[in-house]
Structures are given as C-alpha cells and as structure tokens.
Amino acid sequence: MQSFRTFVFIILIAFLFKCCGVTKNIADNPDYHTSRTALDWEGIYKGGVPCASCEKIDITLQLNGDNTYRLISKYIGKNGDAFFEKGEFEWDKSGGKITLKSDCNINESLKFRVGENILFYLDRDGNVIEGDLADFYILDKIEGLIMDFKWELVSLKGVDDSIIDKQNRVPFLIFNSEKSQINGNSGCNSFFADFYKKDENRVSFDRVGATKMACNNMEVETVLFKIFEETSQYIQVNNSLILMNDSKEKLAEFKLRIEK
C-alpha cells in the first residue's frame, strides 16, 4: 500500500512539473496571443490628431505585412501642407506596440499600441495618451473597398509577371469615391471607367476609355481592359485586391500603395 502511495505521489509531482514547464514556455514566448500574431493589423489607418499650430493633422498610415510603412501627414488650416514618409516599424517585446523608423527621420520615434482595427497614439514613454483629447489620438482602420489610394498591378491572368515589370511605368488604378469612377495607367496609356459597387464584394466596370498612345508592348493594356469587362466581384485582404469573374476565377491582383 505504501509503495502504491509513493507511485501516485511521483506521478502527481511529474504532472505538476510538466504543467509548470508548459506555463513557463508560454510566458517565455512573447508572440503568444499578442496583437502581432492574433490581430489582422495589416492595412490602412486614418484619423485626425490635435495640432498646436493648425486645426488638426490628418494622418493616413499604411502598415504592411513585411513590417514596412507609408505615412501621409496633412496639416489642416496651415496651407494644406502634406508630408510623406516611409520606412520600417519595429514591434516591442510584448508584441502589442510598434515604433516607426523613418527613412528621413521626420517621426523616428512615433509609437502606437495596436488594437482590433485601431491604433492608439503613444507618448514618448510608450504610454497611451489620456485626458480630454484622448479620443483624438486614435487611428481607425479603413474597412471595405479602399478608395482614393493607388492600387498597383501585381499579376494578370494569362500575362507573365516579367512583362508587367517591363512596362513604361507601373500599371495602377484608383477608385474615386466622389465620382464613382476609376482612373489609372495601364503601363502605357492613362485610362478611366465607371465602377459600380453593388452588394458586399460585388463590383463591375463600364465605359472604359483611354488615351491612344502606341507602345512597344500593348499586351498588359489589352488584357487589363478585357478583365474590366469580365470583373463582377473582388476580394480585399489587407493590402491586396483581387478582381474575379462570376466563377470566382482570379483575373488580376493589385497591391495597395499610398503616396503624397
């Protein structure tokens, strides 16, 4: 009987050590269920923050999955000055805060806490800003089809990616929210068209027009304009836009790019 009790005691001790070991591993792993790993943080965030010498500063911040960012700061009521910067951002050890590292050192130490579809401005010490103006130090993630920013072409059905890379300029399109039109460039000619945003993830294009400049290779433009006619739906995943037909066949993919 004594031997049985000793055996049970040893089993319990081993079980406890095993559980403690698992707990320790989780605690030692900074990426376990953090904003960095658990949240869909990639995308574009917008907001208006207080300004000492102007009405406010309109902020547009794009966070990319490769830990790079693009930022536009527009000073409202001060000649409409806008500043653009890009660079990389770093996560802190907790996986919940980021620090922007600008290529041009404009906002080298700008910090944010990453929440669910939201960014909170942090002070120089890395704390959330509090007080009467706290609600103004927040950037909200843009939901739905992102408009008024440039979508650069990544791939086209039936066209080799190397051909896209050899265009005179990077093909792109922009959804104009005010006019319900798209405009852009095929890599050769500038183009425009009406777009119709129907139900969720449903979009179509009509009355495509373009300039008539001749280029050495017109394949991208020809296929792109044909794809506009076939498109009936889309998928937007963070900073990627995929156009599809009724059969949900991938026709084209674009990558989001904000710039001044």
- The helix or strand, by DSSP H or E, that contains position 226, with its residue range, turns out to be helix 219-230
Residue 100 tokens read as: 């922007």
- Looking at the fold, whether 154 and 252 belong to one and the same domain comes out as yes
Q: How many domains does the chain have?
A: 3
Domain carrying residue 77: 36-141
Residue 101 tokens read as: 């590292």
Residue 52 tokens read as: 């000492």
What CATH code is carried by the domain that includes residue 125?
Answer: 2.40.128.640
Residue 106: its pLDDT value, please? 54
- Looking at the fold, whether 72 and 54 belong to one and the same domain comes out as yes
Strand partners, 205: 195
pLDDT digit string (tens) for the chain, length 260 residues? 555 455 444 454 444 444 444 444 434 455 567 999 999 999 999 999 988 888 888 999 999 999 999 999 888 887 767 788 889 999 999 999 999 987 665 555 789 999 999 999 999 889 999 988 899 999 999 988 889 999 999 999 999 999 999 888 999 999 998 889 999 999 999 999 999 988 788 999 999 999 999 888 899 999 999 999 999 999 998 789 999 999 999 999 999 988 76
Residue 59 tokens read as: 């902020």
Residue 3: its pLDDT value, please? 54
- Looking at the fold, whether 247 and 173 belong to one and the same domain comes out as yes
Residue 28 tokens read as: 């030692």
Residue 16: its pLDDT value, please? 45
Alpha-carbon distance of 153 to 167, in angstroms, equals 11
Residue 5: its pLDDT value, please? 52
Q: For 222, which DSSP code?
A: H
CB-based contact 151:173 (threshold 8 Å)? yes
Residue 173: its pLDDT value, please? 96
86 SS3 class: strand
Residue 144: its pLDDT value, please? 83
The amino acid present at 223, given as its one-letter code, is V
- Looking at the fold, whether 46 and 64 belong to one and the same domain comes out as yes
In 3D space, the residue among 28, 55, 62, 23 whose CA is nearest the CA of residue 240 turns out to be 62
- Looking at the fold, whether 15 and 47 belong to one and the same domain comes out as no
Give the strand order in the sheet containing 250-257. 203-210, 190-197, 181-185, 172-176, 150-156, 250-257, 240-244, 233-237
- Looking at the fold, whether 119 and 176 belong to one and the same domain comes out as no
Task: Calculate the CA dihedral of residues 43, 86, 50, 35 and round it to 10 degrees.
Answer: 40
- Looking at the fold, whether 158 and 230 belong to one and the same domain comes out as yes
CB-based contact 69:84 (threshold 8 Å)? no
In 3D space, the residue among 99, 86, 143 whose CA is nearest the CA of residue 125 turns out to be 99
